[in-house]
Amino acid sequence: MARCAFCGAEFETGPGDILLVCPYCGTAQTTEGAKFEKHYMIRVHFDRSDAERTLLDWCSKQLGAPDDLAVAARFVEAKLVFYPFWVCNVEADTRYQGLGKDARFYDRWPQRPEAFKRIEFYYKPESGRFQRRYEISIPGIEDIDEDIKRFPIPTRSREYFSHAHAEEHDGIVLHSKVSEEQAREQAKQEAYNRQTALVLEEVDKIESRDDNIKVGEAYLIHVPVWELKYRYGRSTYKASVSAATGYVIESKYPRTLAFRAAALAGGLVFLLIGAGLFYLALKQGLWYAGGLTSGSIFAAVGLGMLYKAASTKEAKEEI
Ligand SMILES: [Zn+2]
């Protein structure tokens, strides 16, 4: 329990909550009662019925979804959760020196002009610089769903946090277990990792680097997500829909038995063709590279279809 330093009300807190939002007056404050000013929100543009309709529309269009899904599904739960995120603006400047891999080719085969008898790899020194600006968001809670964590926050449409707005939609505003200092530290590390990834696209080994990473403005933002549950037939399906954009972050949905059976059969056929091509390529040496490549493609498609046949999950909008 904590007592709000501004309205005096007592409210629930969980272990590890560091930055609290009073559910009565909406003031963001530290556990010592210092007011936190840089507190923003994304407003709700899709109310409960909009979110439910958008979700069912979207699920109905998915491959293998039953035709009567939109009319037969019954919602059994709808919660509006405002998830806390820290958004940090980071400037990163990295100079690096490293070794890039290169190759020399010798002696073409006469029958196969694309193939060489000998390839020699060697390293050559390379250097460069990456200057980047990042807007990095750090979730304020740890056990957050991966899809909600990765979902891009429309920060340009942020507004100051409005308690009245959250209350109007019965939103649950979560406290943050991450302090501003911790968020800044994590954002700095994340920027460093992204710079490393950029450098490693240029060189294979980093010999030396000089990083100048500055975390500038950082603020807390609450992002509204509809956590929905609906029933179809005997099963219950869960979904997360952005209350700001109506974007389906993640959803499970039913698939017809006919679809599953077709996917299962198709998957097995593709897998067999893939295995056959592999066998021919390895055994006969005929169209070696072509056989291996198309073999893997067939096998991958086959596995993908088997996965679709077996799973209820994996439905997401493409970002
Ligand atoms: Zn209060």
**Cα–Cα distances in angstroms (integers) from residue 216 to residues 68, 135, 180, 194, 258, in the given order:** 51, 10, 12, 17, 55
- Give pLDDT tens digits along the chain (319 positions): 899 999 999 999 999 999 999 999 999 999 999 999 999 999 999 999 999 999 999 988 887 888 888 889 999 999 999 999 999 999 999 999 999 888 888 877 777 777 777 888 888 899 999 999 999 999 999 888 888 888 889 999 999 999 999 999 999 999 999 999 999 999 999 999 999 999 999 999 999 999 999 999 999 999 999 999 999 988 889 999 999 999 998 888 787 777 777 777 778 887 888 888 777 777 776 566 677 777 788 888 888 877 877 765 545 554 4
Dihedral angle at the C-alpha atoms of 110, 112, 117, 118, nearest 10 degrees? Answer: 120
Report the interhelical angle of 257-284 vs 288-310 (nearest 10°): 160
Tell me the CA–centroid distance for residue 218 and ligand 1, in Å: 23
Q: What distance in Å separates the CA atoms of residue 36 and residue 248, rounded to the nearest whole number?
A: 31
What is the Å distance from ligand 1's center to 148 Cα?
A: 28
| Ligand 1 centre distance from Cα of residue 30 (Å) | 12
Separation of 245 CA from ligand 1 center, angstroms?
A: 29
Domain ranges in the chain are 255-312
How many Å lie between the centroid of ligand 1 and the Cα of residue 80? 20
The rounded Cα 29 to chain-centroid distance in angstroms is: 29
- Cα of 21 from ligand 1 centre, angstroms: 8
**CA 181 to ligand 1 centroid distance, Å:** 24
Rounded distance from Cα 177 to ligand 1 centre (Å) = 19
pTM for this predicted structure: 0.76
Element (H, E) at 148: helix 146-150
Ligand 1 midpoint to CA 6 (Å): 5
